Amino acid sequence: MGRYFSKSFLLFLFVIPTVCLAYPAVLWVIGQLFFPFQANGSIVRDAKGNAIGSLLIAQPFTKDEYFQPRPSAASYDASASAPSNLAASNYALRDRVARTLGPIVKYSDGPKKGQLVAADIEAWFQQDKFGGQPHIVAQWADAHNGLATGWVNADPSHGGYVDDWTKKHSNEVAQWKKDNPGTPEPKAPDLAVLFFENFSRDNPGKFPSAVTQTGKDGKTTTAIEPVSTGSDIQSIFFDMWRQEHADAALQDIPADMVMASGSGLDPHISMENAEYQLDRVADKWAADTKRDPKQVHDEIEQILQQNASAAFGGLAGEQFVNVLQVNLALKDRYGEPK
């Protein structure tokens, strides 16, 4: 018995220092000597040395001058890496995809071939009828309570807007309390559906959305106001518009524009995805720099080609680009977006 124990103990004394100390130390030294950039997270820094991102982790870009990454169920948070795990039958998945498509999808045939459907979504929304019934916003909130509540929770300004509405509509809130005795002190999210039902009747063909204005002093302020156009309408109500325009021929969209990766952190997009976004990016930079759109388009196309890569040195798989890398190249060439 002692002989077996001694052998196991000797093996333990050999394995632990080797596996837990020597092996990691050797890898760390090799990484720091020969691959310092990759070994330290592929962190990209600005001229002042401040970290602005990692080539390994996707991050959101909100300006139209930049390419957009794939959707992320983890909100691009590396500490919360995970897929959404939404089933194909889950309306939340359908809604997320529809919100991505609304502002960007184009007609594939007919007199409007190549044009965005966004303007037609807005025109349809302003008529304020769905399924032959009035009040699109109220119908949306009634059919999808969770989405209405999600809107209220999405931003503090949304909740504040509902709170202000509550103070001006005490009778409606009092009736809601009678109908819902289990919630005697409702919060803004509890009143989401009631709010949208009343908002829809008071503001036909409009939706509450953030509006930014610049005052005479040059300062900008953002407030929630009823609007009849904009990205919120194009995205939120695309699915309802599509249901009433099922025969409209629309262009196919690269899959990775609407599908998140398993981790939600994929920093790359396919070249097909980048090409689909190219017109938007080029037109915006051309407007910012007051240059010929075609020339800017060709320049950005060249940037994409210079930053394109594929698996195994291009021997297998489709080409892809790193979104952060490409957007930094755009910033270096054209400066800060306006």
Q: What does the DSSP assignment read for 53-116?
A: EETTB-----STTS------TTTT-GGG-------TT-HHHHHHHHHHHTTT-BB-SSTTTTSB
At 4, which helix (H) or strand (E)?
helix 2-17
pLDDT, position 314? 67
Least reliable range by pLDDT among 88-92, 107-111, 136-140, 263-267: 88-92
Look up tokens 């920093």; give the residue.
267
At residue 270, the 3 state secondary structure works out as strand
> What phi and psi, each to the nearest 5 degrees, are found at residue 201?
-70, -35
Q: Which residue has the higher pLDDT, 214 or 290?
A: 290
At 186, which helix (H) or strand (E)?
none
Indicate the length of the chain as a whole number: 338
Mean pLDDT confidence for 259-277: 92
Mean pLDDT confidence for 183-199: 96
Q: pTM of the full predicted structure?
A: 0.81
pLDDT tens digit sequence for 246-256 = 999 999 999 99
Tell me what the pLDDT averaged over the chain comes to: 91
Mean pLDDT confidence for 67-85: 87
Contacts of 205 (CB under 8 A, 6+ apart): 125, 126, 127, 128, 136, 228
Q: Which residue has the higher pLDDT, 215 or 204?
A: 204
Q: What is the distance between the alpha carbons of residues 20 and 312, in angstroms, rounded to a whole number?
A: 32
Q: What is the distance between the alpha carbons of residues 333 and 304, in angstroms, rounded to a whole number?
A: 13
Mean pLDDT confidence for 215-219: 78
Query: Is the model's pLDDT at 145 over the cut of 70?
Result: yes
Return contacts of 88-94, CB within 8 angstroms, 24+ apart: 91/144, 92/146, 94/239
Query: Is the model's pLDDT at 155 over the cut of 70?
Result: yes
At residue 267, the 3 state secondary structure works out as coil
Q: What is the distance between the alpha carbons of residues 218 and 216, in angstroms, rounded to a whole number?
A: 5
User: With pLDDT > 90 as the criterion, what percentage of the chain qualifies?
Assistant: 66
At residue 336, the 3 state secondary structure works out as coil
pLDDT, position 33? 87
Top-ranked range on mean pLDDT: pick from 13-22, 32-41, 222-231: 222-231
Residue (of 332, 270, 259, 280) closest to 304 by Cα position: 270
pLDDT tens digit sequence for 286-320 = 999 999 999 999 999 999 999 999 877 667 778 99
Q: What is the distance between the alpha carbons of residues 76 and 98, in angstroms, rounded to a whole number?
A: 20
The Cα angle at residue 63 between residues 124 and 317, in degrees rounded to 5: 95
Residue 138: HSE in the Cβ half-sphere, 13 Å Cα cutoff: 16
Query: Which pairing describes strands 220-227 and 133-134: parallel, antiparallel, or unpaired?
Result: unpaired
Mean pLDDT confidence for 34-52: 84
At residue 334, the 3 state secondary structure works out as helix
At residue 303, the 3 state secondary structure works out as helix
Residue (of 68, 105, 95, 93) closest to 266 by Cα position: 68
